[in-house]
Structure 1
Amino acid sequence: MASSKTKLRLIVDTKAGKVLFAEAGKDFIDFLIYLLSLPIATAVKILKEKNLNPMVCSFSHIYESLKNLPESFLQPNQDKNSLLNPRAPVYATGIPLTLSDYDFNAQKSYKCSKCYDYMAEVPNLNCSNCKGKVSIGMSYVPPSPVNYSLGPVEGGYLRGLATYIVMDNLEFMPMSTKMFVSLLKKSAVKDLDSLEDIEVDLGVEEVC
């Protein structure tokens, strides 16, 4: 079961009185990527039900961040193209802060009862090839760790070894000393003693 909270480490300039950026582990970034896998209509509906802002602008920053992320940061059973261009909800276990209780894993497809070459999400349609009924139920096999036999796989989308920098617009990138120093220079931080890190617990309401 996904956790209802995740942690974020805020880097604060106490003299300027502002948060410069945040450090996050894979659980928070997995959640941001999970948002991309939701159909827009579903995401808007869920956020509306919870009285949360749709975050339309932030979605674009998450999308570009994932697009620029090297493939080596992804789990071996995840495909970046599938995440960036989902035709259906992308399934993964262990995603924190799940926005809904919809069971996408239970969604069925149907194949032709005669030629078996065509499938549909709606049962009893006429096959485009042989005109038979598309009526044989097919269950979705998720790319979960238990279904992947070519190597060790954790839950979520990303490997768990990396730490990420997250900006206030939700843009994220892998943490590195060079990136850390660059952000401090960009923020015009002159006194390192003025920096303070604060760890916070986030739920869905705080994230959205």
Structure 2
Amino acid sequence: MASSNTKLRLFVDTKAGKVLFAEADKDFIDFLIYLLSLPIATAVRILKDKNMHLAGVGSLGHLYESLEKLPNSFLQPNQDKSSLLNPRAPVYATGIPLTLFDYDFEARKSYRCSSYYCDYMAEVPNLTCSNCNSRVDREMSYVPPSPANFPVAVEGGFLKGLATYIVMDNLEFMPMSTKMFVSLLKKSDVKDLDALDEIEVDLGVEEGLKLLKLSLESKSILTSFYFGDRSGLSDVKSMDSYPGHGPTD
């Protein structure tokens, strides 16, 4: 499991007790896209393994446990419980900070039709090809889209590293500009500018797990993250100590 950290700058209305929005770089947005790419069963399993029970959507945890306890004899012969409980991530990228679980992409296999003239494939071996009725049993290994597999230099993650982003309380994000930054401050209706604080947060895997959990429970994720458990933010620093970090055009 990756242990690299990333940072997030929160703009907090301390009197109202809410996070208005945040400023983030590519690393944090890559992490959000990574969360979006996780199969729901994988997300539930990650939280279950960490004893982080879901509130509000706890039925997903119960659903996972029900399938886990169900005898294999109840499944169709072409279904595999392990695959249902541990589905493959549909996308993959290297260099994602706060990766929440280890996935062995080298073990990812698919199977091609045994007929030389047929290119049908399947995720499950030994099926009958729907095109030519041959067996689908030729094992194919998965090649992840890592930077090493491209002829030109490619960074890790999903996004290019040049932009800075605004992240809303509900995790909606967009490229940042000075005009947008000022507009968001005006729309936030902060009545006392002295109550507006800028806080830089260091995020590790533990905080990443909290964000995953909150993304399944809340519509005010950043507010719930910051105000809901201040003990999890032991390395918070006032932005007064970070000169030259203002918004960019």
**TM-score interval, normalised by the smaller of the two chains:** 0.7 to 0.9
Match of 1:94 in 2: 95
Match of 2:129 in 1: 127
Assess if the C-alpha contact under 8 Å between 2:105 and 2:144 holds in 1: no
Match of 1:32 in 2: 32
Assess if the C-alpha contact under 8 Å between 2:12 and 2:199 holds in 1: yes
Assess if the C-alpha contact under 8 Å between 2:3 and 2:205 holds in 1: no
CA distance in 2, matches of 1:15, 1:96: 32
SS at match of 1:20: strand
SS at match of 1:32: helix
Q: Gapped runs of 5+ residues in structure 2?
A: 58-87, 213-249
CA distance in 1, matches of 2:47, 2:107: 22
Give matches, 1:76-155, under 5 Å. 89-115=90-116, 116-149=118-151, 151-155=152-156
CA distance in 2, matches of 1:166, 1:13: 15
SS at match of 1:33: helix
Query: How many residues are treated as equivalent by the alignment?
Result: 178
CA distance in 1, matches of 2:130, 2:13: 63
CA distance in 1, matches of 2:187, 2:54: 29
SS at match of 1:92: coil
Using structure 2 for the length normalisation, give the TM-score. Answer: 0.63
Match of 2:48 in 1: 48
Q: After TM superposition, give the deviation of residue 51 of structure 1 in Å.
A: 2.8
Assess if the C-alpha contact under 8 Å between 2:2 and 2:100 holds in 1: no
Assess if the C-alpha contact under 8 Å between 2:109 and 2:123 holds in 1: yes
**CA 1:38–1:18 in structure 2 vs 1: closer, same or farther (change >3 Å)?**
closer
CA distance in 1, matches of 2:7, 2:35: 17
Quote the sequence identity (%): 79
Match of 2:162 in 1: 161
Higher relative contact order (CA 8 A, sep 6+): 1
**CA 1:19–1:148 in structure 2 vs 1: closer, same or farther (change >3 Å)?**
same
- 1:131-152: CA deviation from partner (whole Å, max 9, x where unpaired): 2221111111222111112x43
Give matches, 1:56-67, under 5 Å. none
Using structure 1 for the length normalisation, give the TM-score. Answer: 0.74
**CA 1:88–1:197 in structure 2 vs 1: closer, same or farther (change >3 Å)?**
closer
Q: After TM superposition, give the deviation of residue 194 of structure 1 in Å.
A: 5.3
Amino acid at match of 2:93: A
Q: Which has the larger radius of gyration?
A: 2
SS at match of 1:201: strand
Match of 2:183 in 1: 182
Assess if the C-alpha contact under 8 Å between 1:24 and 1:165 holds in 2: yes
